[in-house]
Structure 1
Amino acid sequence: MAKLQSLDPNTPLFAQFKERTGPIVLANTFVVPEGRAESFLALFRRQAAFMRAQPGFVSLRMHRGTADSRLLMNVAVWESTEALATAFGSPQFQRMAAESPDDIVSYPHIFEQIDV
């Protein structure tokens, strides 16, 4: 399974799941070893298809870092943290997540939109 790391050590993902708010954006940056992006993306596409069918899902985009970067970043919009947490915690998604190789590192974080 991919290693989950926190961008902000004060607010790990599972603590963020407890915050009842929405809509939210999940920004998840993955560090993928060289030469492994296509196999990772094949698994991610299966996971994304599952998530798209879940209640509260709004949209999803994957981005690739430039200049031979090993980073991929998923940006997903959900109606609420509760909807995302329910989908993430489902046994079917957890089985797919367990297929992710141990050398993938994931940095998920939940955001709320603010006015600027």
Structure 2
Amino acid sequence: MLNFGSLDESAQFRDQQKEKAGPVTIINTFVAPEGKEDEVVAAWTDDAEYMKKSGSLLSVQLYRGIGGSRLFTNVAVWKSTEHLRAALGTPEFASHLEGYPAGTVAYPHLYQKVAVEGVCEGE
């Protein structure tokens, strides 16, 4: 079962989803229980395949920490918070949370691009 934590107590993931914004990027870091890294990847793969079927997921990429790290980070771009909220709110998605090995913790947070002149483009 997947458990959730927060990296920013001032902006909880549940509250962020109430904002009307788009596109939005969810950056979700998972901590895999020791020896369960392959199970976390398998569970994440099931999630990603399900989410891709929604038609509202614009892109997705999984990253893995190096050097023996048990961290994985999912970076996914959605059309909007409304689309993300709809996908997360289905009974099918809820059943996917059971696929993660016990002790897995996720730290999801929503972001939007920031324009920094001469460095990177915004929306």
Tell me if both proteins adopt one fold, taking TM over 0.5 as the criterion. yes
Which residue in 2 is equivalent to 1:39? Answer: 39
Q: Please tell me the residue identity of whatever aligns with 1:37.
A: E
Of 25-34 and 96-105, the range deviating more from structure 2: 96-105
- RMSD over equivalenced CA pairs, Å: 1.0
Establish whether residue 106 from structure 1 lines up as the match of residue 106 from structure 2: yes
Q: Give 1 or 2 for the bigger CA radius of gyration.
A: 2
Q: Distance in 1 between matches of 2:36 and 2:9?
A: 28
Q: Distance in 2 between matches of 1:95 and 1:68?
A: 29
**1:55 to partner: Cα distance:** 3.3
> 1:97 aligns to what SS in structure 2?
helix
Q: Distance in 1 between matches of 2:100 and 2:50?
A: 15
> 1:77 aligns to what SS in structure 2?
strand
Are the equivalent residues in 2 in contact too, given 1:31–1:71 (CA < 8 A)?
Answer: yes
Unaligned 5+ segments in structure 2 are: 117-123
Establish whether residue 67 from structure 1 lines up as the match of residue 42 from structure 2: no
> 1:6 aligns to what SS in structure 2?
coil
**1:102 to partner: Cα distance:** 3.1
Q: How does 1:59-98 map to 2 (within 5 A)?
A: 59-98=59-98
Are the equivalent residues in 2 in contact too, given 1:28–1:109 (CA < 8 A)?
Answer: yes
Which residue in 1 is equivalent to 2:120? Answer: none
Please give the TM-score of this superposition, normalised by the length of structure 1.
Answer: 0.95
Are the equivalent residues in 2 in contact too, given 1:55–1:83 (CA < 8 A)?
Answer: no
Are the equivalent residues in 2 in contact too, given 1:65–1:71 (CA < 8 A)?
Answer: yes
Q: Distance in 2 between matches of 1:3 and 1:48?
A: 18
Of 97-106 and 68-77, the range deviating more from structure 2: 97-106
Identity of aligned residues (%): 38
Please give the TM-score of this superposition, normalised by the length of structure 2.
Answer: 0.90
Establish whether residue 22 from structure 1 lines up as the match of residue 22 from structure 2: yes
**1:111 to partner: Cα distance:** 0.1
Q: Distance in 1 between matches of 2:3 and 2:95?
A: 15
**1:99 to partner: Cα distance:** 2.8
Q: Distance in 1 between matches of 2:63 and 2:93?
A: 21
**1:10 to partner: Cα distance:** 1.0
